[in-house]
Structure 1
Amino acid sequence: MPALDSLKSLKTLQVGERTYHYYSLPDAAQTLGNLDKLPKSLKVLLENLLRWEDNQTVTGEDLQALADWTKTRSANREIQYRPARVLMQDFTGVPAVVDLAAMREAVAKAGGDPQRINPLSPVDLVIDHSVMVDRYASENAYHENVEIEMERNGERYAFLRWGQNAFDNFRVVPPGTGICHQVNLEYLGRTVWTKDEDGRTYAFPDTLVGTDSHTTMINGLGVLGWGVGGIEAEAAMLGQPVSMLIPEVVGFKLTGKLREGITATDLVLTVTQMLRKKGVVGKFVEFFGDGLATLPLADRATIGNMAPEYGATCGFFPVDQITLDYLRLSGRPEETVQLVEAYTQAQGLWRNPGDEPVFTDVLELDMGEVQSSLAGPKRPQDRVLLGEVAKTFGDFTSLAPKKAEAPKAGSGVEVQLDGQTFQLEDGAVVIAAITSCTNTSNPSVMMAAGLLAKKAAEKGLMRKPWVKSSLAPGSKVVTDYYNAAGLTPYLNDLGFDLVGYGCTTCIGNSGPLLDPIEKAIQDADLTVASVLSGNRNFEGRVHPLVKTNWLASPPLVVAYALAGSVKVDLTQEPLGTGNNGQPVYLKDVWPTQQEVADAVQKLDTAMFHKQYGAVFDGDEKWQAIQVPDAETYVWDADSTYIQNPPFFETIAGDPPRIADIHDARILALLGDSVTTDHISPAGNIKKDSPAGRYLAEHGVDYADFNSYGSRRGNHEVMMRGTFANIRIRNEMLGGEEGGNTFHVPTGEKLSIYDAAMKYELENTPLVIIAGKEYGTGSSRDWAAKGTNLLGVKAVVAESFERIHRSNLVGMGVLPLQFKDGVDRKSLGLTGQEKIAVLGIDGVELRPHMPLTLEVTREDGSLESVEVLCRIDTLNEVSYFKAGGILHYVLREFLAKPAA
């Protein structure tokens, strides 16, 4: 802990037999001014600054600026924030550990002690993103999927086992345990963190950053946390503060309570739509109002989870009695619960009835007005009332061009499967998945799904034969309470057998459809659907052949599996015919709130103790993995999963010179809302793609290609998959789908990777030109790493998503923003131009400085426009000048002698 100074008042708190020391916000308020109306999320930031004040990275002026926030309701001041811990999942965690291993290697080559490279903040990595739905609708599906997962990912898991042993302050939750955000909510999160130092136990708010954008789910527990890029998280692990601007805070007032038949999913989709419409990108959202007294912790977590979908940095819920009740239910020690209550009340972080802090702006929702909804067909903020889904699908398909040989609407394609013959039509639900952390953490909606399955099965309904159905809870506790409530057999009857504990369909791990189904979709160019209880439904994410994807509550997922089509109006038309020959409607099988509440009572603390008693041990397969006892990783040149990345090859030399960019070519000309799903390699690896050819050349059979996510530890695969999404549209090619471009000097149409390599041989720098909201979606570090390795020096866009912009800077790629009224269209860009970025040479780089974008057209004419440098903070300037954030950390490390 830093030394005390005039603003710090160290006080003690007696909880049971233990004494805790803490830095008092009420005492600081005597100097800083009244803090009563400060949003509680900002009080957490203020405590963090108070605790770390050293008059260097954190000054009294920083504290005063934050305390004065209620006067300005916004602030542009940069602060240095130090979260208590870091959370990772394996897709984003593996490349982070690869980078740490590469840094150890670089230190060893430079003659230093590699064991000095360790996380300085506690890190938990939960392996949850690797299980795929290869087997489903059978009692053996879970065990078979686990076997396949372990076989596919042996190299990655061995690497993580090595990391678990090699690095201090680093824990791994083995596969088959649950989704990282649900494990965080149910076990890892404490709400108030403690640290033993100098013979004292310090108490302070539990805070974190995570390498997954849905880290925000923990905000439901009163824990301030959000997603950052893997690059930024690695720097935080290594002792670098998170540099950020004091945010605006939008208050969201909740009143009333949900009506009969309305779920937490309906609520969160409504909140998401309202906040996305309001515009909260880069802002905190804090929920308040007396409606919180009726909102269960799991519902709060569901809303917090969706912060990336409504665009906010986080969606924070203050601590109150409901928080304490959940901590007790989930098996946290009683001393922890008592500490949370005592500390938050002492610090003014406790929510009292009638609390109304000052906010930048306020929205209000009477929860009694929420209606049953889905979101689709391709964005999470596009909420659609249940009764309007069929019409919305029809409107979507009417705009989608069809192949000339495609069947007429309603005619369908005949498919034979397992002795059955049926017509597969537009609108067919081919995937119905109860999946992802958004809803599987929520017992009320999960029990509702089980109860609906029970009523439907008892009436003789079955899922349609073309539906791939799956149940992938975020925690083994879900299985326990399903069993206790007697609902598991009914879910199994409808094909919702357990397939795994992890992120499956929601992140593209939906696995293949049956061959006859895939063939019919492709041959007839059918527009089919998935319905999933997830948080993301972007194009090409769930399955490459499924063009429309609908986010829904778990009970609606089951209902659509029975109906088999999104063209069925579930408010008016039957789900199917019962065993008595009569039509069965949704209202006939929808559980009442009382039935759900009674089922939720089956959940008890013993289930959490059982499942989390030995959470880091893993099963016998995990424990049997053999790894070398070595301080540096033993790289295998033949591995197609783990390779030493080239990022630190020149770290012993001088930093690269920051200079103007001349004679650059446009690698891709992109439109609005290009997501990290479009940029970063994700999902399946196509056989004829550059990554597929690389794997084939290295002796990997197509059946063993696995997903891009599983191969994030191999830069050779990942750089080949950057911008390779089948749904990306490069306007240089007239907007056709697929990751291709023109190599302008020769006019060749090539994959973006092949063109980039050709430009590299010609020593030609590259730029990306894009529209609004560039880089929205999951916080994938490879969206920035791959961009760097392709030779892209700058990305010019109309606006950027927060995390991706930061990641670009962290990888030494310059983000530039068009001024209002200027864009690729107003400039008439075709992709054939040469680009220069001027104004860097001979000046000191600074945040938000104006630079000049110079366009040279094919006829030699020039046009220059001013663009804004989106390096936003002084810390980012330092990172960019060093070649990237990890380069900065490593250079600083090498410059310091060992202690």
Structure 2
Amino acid sequence: MTFKIIPNSKFSATDYRSVIGDGYRSLPHSLRLLAENAARHSEGGEAALDVLAREGDAVPFRPARLLLHDMLGIPALIDIMAMRNLLEEQGRDPLSVDMSLPVDLVIDHSMSINHWADRFALQKNMDREFEVNRERFEFLKACETRFPRLRVIPPGGGICHQVNLEFLGQTVLPSHEDDNLLVPDSCLGTDSHTPMINALGIMGWGVGGLEAEAVLFGETTPVNVPRVIGLELTGAPSDEIMATDIALVIAEKLRAVGVVDTFVELFGPGYRTLSVADRATIANMAPEYGSTMVFCPVDERTIGYLRDTGRGRSANLTEIYSKAQDLWVDGSDTNVEYDEVVGLDLGRIGRSVSGPSRPEQRIDLADASERLKLKGETERRVPVQGTSHDIGDGDVIIAAITSCTNTANPRNMVAAGLMARNAVARGLKVPPHVKTSLAPGSRVVASYLEESGLQGPLDALGFEIAAFSCSTCNGMSGPLHPAHEATIKADDVKGIAVLSGNRNFAGRIHPLASRNMIASPPLVVAYALTGTILKDITCEPLGYDHDGDPVMLSDLWPSADEVTEIVEKFVTPTEFSRNYAAINDVNVHWNDLAADAGTYEWVPSNYVSFPPFVRKIDKVAGPVGPLKGLRPLVILGDSVTTDHISPSGIITPESEAGRYLQQQGVEPRDFNSFGTRRGCSDVVVRSTYANYRLRNEMTPDNEGSWTRIEPEGEITSVFKAIETYLDRDQKLVVIGGKEYGCGSSRDTAAKAPWLAGVRAVIVESFERIHRSNLVNMGIAPLCFPKGVTRRTLRLDGSETYDIDIDEDLLGARLTVHRKDGSYDMTPLDLRLYNDGERDTFAAGGLLPRAFRKFLAGAA
């Protein structure tokens, strides 16, 4: 089933077309890649025929490599290390738990912007990052020492997806199992924005940490052959827009179409007008509309990007392989059949932003001030004590150029730098109430901004480089100026955060930001200058120059030719090669860490602790029985994100996690974040539904982490309710609406409810990754039948719930028992999508199933 792909060379390739015949010509290019992978990982390649059939059957998929970041990678590695220890306790060989494929872990989620608008901000933040995260980093160093196939990119090296795009991704490469076999690069990652790598023609998407663990253990992951939505691009983008504007339009359009669990594939004449960096900005935001991938087939631009980023050998192999395997697009292939086609004219797209709390809430720039203004909001000003300035509703309190989504796009960054240069030349300044920061996703960005002379004017406006990490986009925005925080709290000032990120969920960026707005990097600069969203920056001045004349957005916006000239001169293959050759040496603190390769010793820690869900694994799985007498922990509405379920950002002293840490002797300044403490189960359980903006319908008058204990009816914190129910051995259920679990792929959003005693979640619909995480934790993912919701059932939280799961794990029934003795019954859809998921659920989750295999010597 293989053939010589390069004559007179050692390289062969899997001939997936010999399995499925000429029918491959109608397959979208993403399904051709899936068929090739399925052919390699099934007996006789027969699973490729299921791809050809396109009937939704599960096929085995195994990536070429895994991509982890520290926030989700550490919990996964803790599970693996704990299983080694547990096996050793059982008298088995702990080394049998190992990594079966190459794994890259990038430490990019730990940096908080504690210092900003300071030429030493980067070094100060890196020093502080290491100070508070030392225990976590020591654990990662221990893992790198013990697992030969694990490579760790140290803190300060960049953001995982940008590093993946610019360095790790190869598009075509020799198999790690057989270096004579060329295979398409493919990548699963423990972050929902892993589809950014789709821009290079690489199949990849985000998975939960638990699914990643299964792949680490050598398993294939079952993939139901998805519907493929063809996004037909026509026209060409105008010179004045950024890739961000295109991505926001696509997010709005595809969320409205409904593309959850699908592949989206770009095609059409407009596709060829987009650079790989533009495609990456678009693909990065796939999870914002629920798509598994936004696939960008290989063409001449793909090859050019590989060469331009210093990967000439990969470029040569990719071009030969893609043409030989009919994976190359040049506009002549008209046989592809998509399940649905959605059209988009790139020439009709204008400048836009999104907000106040969802990426798909796109707003034309001219309408932003009116749409984002809160009801009754006026331009009131409140003096900031101890300063000479004031602050008011609608003020920009954070302006952050951040995230891989946009900083991996040189045109975005150069445009922002030119905006800053033009603003400084006119004498404009950023108001003192705006916290500014620049956190590129790779050090290449810093190099070309410095060499082009654009970093200087950015510095002058307060956009000094403060980090090479996710920072503000991941909720690690850090504190505001103390006087500003005090004034905002005392006078209930409704400020806004503006960032060039991919997520603006309520409560994610900073607890004191009432709204969050996504904008392109040059628009972040513009909003930083004007300092408010209450002005229409398309027709009102951003400020006034040395002579008192108004300065408009159009006065500062650079021409497309000017941006192109700088990109072509300063963004070179040499810059990429030089920076990535030195990536292992960017952090002296990391290099100074020592680690041995012996048995890992678990020491008391609020960062890394032995997980209860590993300690409690039974040697033999029990039967899947009915769930009787469940109490609801929370009843939630639509679009509940994983940030609501298990927040990532700031831990406040008054939160349950904050109180716990103080009891452990941790000072508030050292709390770090919910995300960085996901390796400690005591913090994780206290993070359950701990979002400051949570709306629980059981406590409609309270915003935040509140619920009601039943049958007493006592209103209390979610964690106090969890403690009460755990003491009673009372199992719990969570009720929700549509799109439950959207957002980040964090598996703690399933682990935290499990620790709390939640054993079922009943909603109208799930987002893809979170549903998978629930299955892998042994929590039943259930959906109401069409026409039935929490509202039609009149659920108020005083009820108890019985869930009877069918023996074949294909369905379930719900009985709602009310206080007055009445009850309602309804069927439920048990969302287990294939036999592999049913086996995992029946075993009580992935970790019990995997451990029993290791224990039996069968893994």
TM tier, shorter chain? over 0.9
Counterpart in the other structure of 2:590: 622
Does residue 530 of the first structure (1) align with residue 530 of the second (2)? no
CA distance in 2 between partners of 1:618 and 1:104 (Å): 31
Residue 197 to residue 551, structure 1, CA distance change in 2 (3 Å)? closer
Shift of 1:291: 1.6
Could you say which residue in structure 1 is the equivalent of 2:579?
611
Which of 15, 18, 23 is residue 27 of structure 1 equivalent to? 18
- Say if 2:198 and 2:204, in contact at 8 Å, map to a contact too: yes
Q: Paired residue for 1:779?
A: 745
After the TM superposition, which residues 567-716 of structure 1 pair with which residues of structure 2 at under 5 Å, given as runs? Answer: 567-601=534-568, 602-630=570-598, 632-637=599-604, 639-651=605-617, 653-716=619-682
Partner of residue 4, structure 1? none
Change (3 A) 1:276 1:839: closer
Partners in 2 of 1:18 and 1:174 — Cα distance?
37
1:757 pairs with 2:723: yes
Q: 1:762-795: CA deviations, max 9, x gaps?
A: 1211101111111000001000000111001101
Q: Let me know the Cα RMSD of the aligned residues.
A: 1.5
Corresponding residue to 1:560 among 516, 527, 533: 527
Which amino acid counterpart does residue 699 of structure 2 have in structure 1?
L
Aligned to 2:58: 78
Equivalent residues of 2:19, 2:49 under 8 A apart: no
- Give, in whole Å, the separation in 1 of the partners of 2:712 and 2:793: 24
Q: Give the drift of 1:614.
A: 3.4
Instruction: Return 5+ residue gaps in structure 2 as ranges.
Output: none
Tell me which moved more, 256-265 or 466-475. 256-265
Offset of 1:873 from its aligned partner? 1.4
* Structure 1 residue aligned with 2:328: 350
1:706 maps to amino acid = N
Aligned-pair CA distance for 1:416: 4.3
Residue aligned with 1:681, SS: coil
Give a deviation string over 1:436-494, Cα, whole Å, max 9, x none. Answer: 01000000010000000000000000011100000000000001100121111100000
In structure 2, the residue corresponding to 1:655 is in which secondary structure?
coil
Cα deviations by residue, 1:309-343 (Å, 9 ceiling, x for unpaired): 122011000001101111011111x3321110000
Instruction: Please tell me whether the aligned partners of residues 191 and 223 of structure 1 are also in contact (alpha carbons under 8 angstroms).
Output: yes
Q: Are 1:501 and 2:468 counterparts?
A: yes
- 2-side partners of 1:844 and 1:442: how far apart? 49
Q: 2:308 aligns with which of 329, 341, 349?
A: 329
* CA distance in structure 2 between the aligned counterparts of 1:874 and 1:789, rounded to whole angstroms: 26
The answer for the alignment partner of 2:164 in structure 1 is 184
2:383 to 409, 414, 427: 414
Q: Is the 8 A contact 1:664 1:835 kept in 2?
A: yes
**2:713 aligned with 1:733:** no
Contact 1:412 / 1:425 at 8 angstroms: preserved in 2? yes
Residues in 2 aligned to 1:897 and 1:323: alpha-carbon distance in whole angstroms: 42
Q: How far did 1:839 drift?
A: 4.1
- Of the three residues 275, 279, 282, the one matched with 1:296 is 275
Match of 2:40 in 1: 51
Q: Deviations over 1:822-844 (max 9, x none)?
A: 1111111110111111244xx33
Secondary structure (helix, strand or coil) at the match of 1:104 reads helix
Q: Which of 113, 129, 134 pairs up with 1:133? A: 113
433-442 or 711-720, larger mean C-alpha shift: 711-720
Deviation by residue 1:733-789 (Cα, 9 ceiling, x = unmatched): 125211121111333222212212211221211101111111000001000000111
Residue 196 of structure 1: CA displacement? 5.6
CA 1:505–1:197 in 2, change beyond 3 Å: closer, same or farther?
Answer: closer
Counterpart secondary structure, 2:398: strand
Q: Which residue of 2 aligns with 1:286?
A: 265
Matches within 5 A, 1:817-828: 817-828=783-794
Distance 2:501 2:16 in 1: 39
**AA paired with 2:343?**
E
- Residue in 2 aligned with 1:162? 142
Shift of 1:29: 4.0
Contact 2:65 2:102 in 1 (8 A): yes
Q: Deviations over 1:122-175 (max 9, x none)?
A: 110000001111000010111100110010100000000000010121110000
Aligned twin of 1:510: 477
The corresponding residue for 1:359 is: 338
| Native 8 Å contact 1:302 1:439 kept in 2 | yes
- Paired residue for 2:52? 67
CA contact (8 A) 1:289 1:354 kept: no
TM value normalised by structure 1 = 0.94
Aligned to 1:404: none
Q: SS of 1:787's equivalent?
A: helix
Greater Cα offset, 319-328 or 609-618? 609-618
Q: Secondary structure at the match of 1:153?
A: helix
- 1:896 counterpart = 2:857: yes
Task: Check the 8 A contact 1:257/1:367 in 2, yes or no.
Answer: yes
Once residues 411 and 454 of structure 2 are traced to their aligned partners in structure 1, the CA distance between those partners, rounded to angstroms, is 13
**By how many angstroms is 1:549 displaced?**
0.8
Separation (CA, whole Å) in 1 of partners of 2:196 and 2:496: 27
Per-residue deviation, 1:871: 1.7
Q: What is the one-letter code of the residue matched to 2:379? A: G
**1:850 to partner: Cα distance:** 2.8
Map of 1:314 onto structure 2: 293
Q: 2:27 and 2:701 mapped to 1: Cα distance?
A: 48
Stretch moving more, 813-822 or 732-741? 732-741
Q: Does 1:469 align with 2:436?
A: yes
Which residue identity is paired with 1:668?
A: V
Q: Offset of 1:382 from its aligned partner?
A: 0.8
Counterparts in 2 of 1:197 and 1:822: CA distance versus 1, 3 Å: closer
Matches within 5 A, 1:170-569: 170-195=150-175, 197=177, 201-332=180-311, 334-356=312-334, 357-394=336-373, 396-398=374-376, 409-416=378-385, 419-422=387-390, 424-569=391-536
After TM superposition, give the deviation of residue 101 of structure 1 in Å: 0.5
For the residues of structure 1 that align with 2:353 and 2:318, how far apart are their CA atoms? 36
What code does the residue aligned with 1:580 have?
Answer: D
Partner of 1:547, secondary structure, is strand
Contact 1:289 1:355 in 2 (8 A): no
Q: Which amino acid aligns with 2:667?
A: D
Partner residue, 1:405: none
> In structure 1, the residue corresponding to 2:193 is in which secondary structure?
helix
CA deviations over 1:511-552 (Å, ceiling 9, x no partner):
011122112222222221111000000100000110111110
For residue 351 of structure 2, what is the amino acid of its counterpart?
S
- Deviation per CA, 1:168-219, whole angstroms, max 9, x where unpaired? 2111000001000000001000001212656x51111111110000000000
Q: Distance in 1 between matches of 2:517 and 2:66?
A: 31
CA positional deviation for 1:664: 1.2
Distance 1:432 1:311 in 2: 27
**How far apart are the structure 1 equivalents of 2:815 and 2:409?**
53
What secondary structure is seen at the aligned counterpart in 1 of 2:142? helix
8 Å CA contact retained: 1:290, 1:354: no
Identity of aligned residues (%): 45
The answer for the alignment partner of 2:759 in structure 1 is 793
Cα displacement (A) at 1:812? 0.7
Output the CA distance in 1 between the equivalents of 2:20 and 2:819.
Answer: 63
Q: How many residues align?
A: 857
> Which whole-Å deviations, capped at 9, do the CAs of 1:847-874 have from their partners, x for residues lacking one?
xx23211111111111111111112211
